[in-house]
Amino acid sequence: MSLTQRASRTLAVLTVAAVTFAIPAIAIEFRNALDDSPLDLSPIKGETFTDAVKSFHETGTNPYVGNADAIAEGKKIFNDNCQVCHKPDASGGMGPNLIDDVVINPRANTDLGKFEVIHSGAAGAMRPFSKRGMTQDQILKIIAFIDSLKK
Ligand code: HEC
């Protein structure tokens, strides 16, 4: 085997290894609120998963809860995208109250369920925000903001 062949074979082995180990292990099941199908959590165009997103995929726990900077950012994104239907304090308008204990979608009282609805949509006017350029990191920040409003 020539040196070039050997080098390219090594490269091929390394590539396979890199691809195998780069795929994040998704331990938690993310499901569509409407039909219970598995969610496609692949990044949107230009999105790089943050450590918070990677950790959320594995644990289903939002690392930004209680983080003042993330909450402040989440508030801005909420005001730009959500308050028109849910009100600035998330108490509900055309869309439901997000800070009481009453939920339409059975998992929406958990951060995982909120993420599923915001990422991939629910009934009627609640559109999938991943299809509107929102990154998963931004969704986690919005959820941290909503959680901060709960009494
Ligand atoms: C055009 C109006 C509209 C906008 C904008 C909107 N929502 Fe909604 N949202 C709704 C409606 C209507 C529902 C109820 C859907 C259903 O019946 O399943 C809903 C449901 C939800 C739920 C689940 C509540 C439950 O009880 O099941 C969450 C969480 C939520 N929205 C968060 C958000 C966030 C965060 C944003 C911004 C990124 C947003 N929504 C933007 C209308 C809207």
Identify the band that residue 6 occupies on the pLDDT scale cut at 50, 70 and 90: confident
pLDDT at 50 over 80: yes
Q: Kindly give the distance from the C-alpha atom of residue 133 to the centroid of ligand 1, in angstroms, as a whole number.
A: 17
Name the residue at shortest CA distance from atom 1 of ligand 1. Answer: 125
Contact by Cβ (8 Å): 139, 80: no
- Is residue 108 lining ligand 1, measured as CB closer than 6 Å? yes
**C-alpha of residue 86 to centroid of ligand 1, in Å:** 7
Whether ligand 1 lies within 6 angstroms of the CB of 104 is answered as yes
Nearest-atom number in ligand 1 for the CA of 142 is: 35
Q: 37: CA distance to ligand 1 center in Å?
A: 19
- CA 13 – ligand 1 centroid, Å: 46
Does the structure show a pLDDT above 70 at 17?
Answer: no
Cα distance from N-terminal residue to C-terminal residue, the chain? 70
If you measure from the C-alpha of residue 55 to the centroid of ligand 1, how many angstroms do you get, rounded to a whole number? 24
Smallest CA-to-CA distance from 27 within 50, 4, 61, 75 is with 61
Write the pLDDT tens digit of every residue in 69-113: 999 999 999 999 999 999 999 999 999 999 999 999 999 999 999
